[in-house]
Homo-oligomer: A and B are copies of this chain.
């Protein structure tokens, strides 16, 4: 067997004393940053793990961390439950780190890195390329779930949001609706951008105008207010595409409150297919995200990237389907 690698080897390679190596790993403040970087680089190159790191690892191996932002949108708890099940079936454990709205994902990921989780799945907002690279260097795969980020070469799993938007538009055209509106999510999310782009593109191709596109912030209350304004306005829509289901349910409620028949007076389509969409009160027509497949692909990608780090940057886009119920 190859001789075991010790702190001395690392020290020699980095051109420092053994003490410095130890300090680098104990996050001792008394060590200059450049020296710490050199040591950590050398340690990586030689495959050295300090006893402290080992102790942490022994407690954290086999865990996958889910970094989630919005737990109020039922899609995420459902996704978390599904992930939890799949991860446990694979003999691993799931940890969920919630990101407070005002907090940076980067800070949380640094956390996750310190925990030496096997991998991170991120469903919340943007992360910097810097932290993405840090994670990659540390050998921790990071997978964006239901999010895409084109700038950093990020691995991601999402459904075909663009195609979903198109499906909705085509269905409204098939129903021959004339005044078609959309309730948007948050303008800076990839899901909003893709879904609305698909919807707009298809409408244009079909020669139908988009009469209104208020912002619903992916939340029930804001979407309800937006929908109410729409229905009370001068040119009420006869079709509304809400960019997620929670907002679609708000639109249904607002339509009923306005005395409009669904789907006769106004057709409504949502996105996600959360469990509530199927409830008898709503029977919402929606674009289904293939949650189970997305989860399976995510775990797949984690293993693939673990085995071969160059896999990074893949984006898996899974097909959506329209579930036609009774609101459109």
Contacts and interface: CB of A to CB of B under 8 A. Distances in A.
Interface in A207-264: 220, 224, 249-250, 252-254, 256-257
Contacts of A77: 71-72, 74, 76-77
Contact of A80 (B54, B84, B98, B257): B98
B97 A111 contact: no
A279 B84 contact: no
A282 B280 contact: no
A256 B282 contact: no
A220 B95 CA distance: 27
Interface in A62-84: 71-72, 74, 76-78, 80-81, 84
A217 to B, nearest CB: 15
A190 interface: no
A48 interface: no
A307 interface: no
A100 B72 contact: no
A206 interface: no
B100 A27 contact: no
A98 B96 contact: yes
A83 B77 CA distance: 15
Nearest to A95: B95
Interface string A86-128: 0010000111111010010000000100110000000000000
B275 A253 contact: no
A21 to B, nearest CB: 15
Contact of A52 (B55, B81, B84, B250): B55
A193 interface: no
Nearest to A88: B100
A187 B193 CA distance: 47
Contacts of A275: 72, 220
Contact of A115 (B59, B71, B81, B280): B59
Contact of A51 (B27, B51, B282): B51
A77 B119 CA distance: 23
A16 interface: no
A32 interface: no
A30 interface: no
Contacts of A254: 280
Contact of A96 (B96, B114, B280): B96
Contacts of A253: 279-281
Given A85-B100, A93-B111, 20 more contacts: A51-B51, A51-B52, A51-B55, A52-B52, A52-B55, A53-B55, A55-B55, A56-B56, A59-B114, A71-B80, A71-B81, A72-B81, A76-B77, A220-B275, A220-B279, A254-B280, A256-B281, A257-B280, A276-B276, A281-B281
18 contacts: A26-B55, A51-B51, A56-B59, A59-B115, A71-B77, A76-B77, A84-B98, A88-B100, A93-B111, A94-B98, A95-B97, A224-B280, A250-B279, A252-B281, A253-B280, A256-B281, A276-B276, A281-B281
